[in-house]
Amino acid sequence: MEGAEPEYLLLHYTADHWDFPKGNIEAGEAEKQAAIREIREETGISDIEFIDDFRMKIEYRYRHSKRLVQKEVVLFLARTHTRQVTLSREHIGFAWRNYQDAMQQLTYRNAKNILGAAKEFLSKYSFAYR
């Protein structure tokens, strides 16, 4: 609906946190190709339209078994006309949320920072939501 507030897709991971769809780049993939593949694998959504000029990179560490892993993630802003989500085994739930509700539901500060930057980007460029 033109002019409506955007909703953001959040995934509930099996590790019991809420975050955006993301994953790893496979050999020979460009960043956006990896994003499309990961979104399709994690949600079943394949009609992705990237919003130009929004790209954020974050880095963080997490424990995998007893090993500390450094991860770099590049996130994009995209839209879809698909509301139906088919979850992968990596997830136990999903939610479409407006900005305020998404800020409340996201688990990690870096995800909240990305969401804040996305909202600012959309506002700055008076992006029409549809």
How, if at all, do strands 18-19 and 8-13 pair? antiparallel
Does position 98 have pLDDT exceeding 80, yes or no?
Answer: yes
How high is the pLDDT of residue 77? 96
How high is the pLDDT of residue 27? 95
How far the first Cα of the chain sits from its last, in Å, is 5
How high is the pLDDT of residue 89? 95
The pLDDT mean for the chain works out to: 91
Candidates 59, 69, 73, 61; CA nearest to 31 is 73
Q: Which of 60-69, 74-83, 111-120 has the lowest mean pLDDT?
A: 60-69
Does position 17 have pLDDT exceeding 70, yes or no?
Answer: yes
Partnered with residue 100 across adjacent β-strands are none
Return d(Cα 61, Cα 3) in angstroms, integer. Answer: 38
Return d(Cα 21, Cα 86) in angstroms, integer. Answer: 12
**Confidence class for position 3, pLDDT limits 50, 70, 90:** low
What global pTM score does this model have? 0.87
User: Which ranges constitute the DSSP H helices of 44-124?
Assistant: 99-105, 109-124
Under 8 Å between Cβ of 67 and 21: no
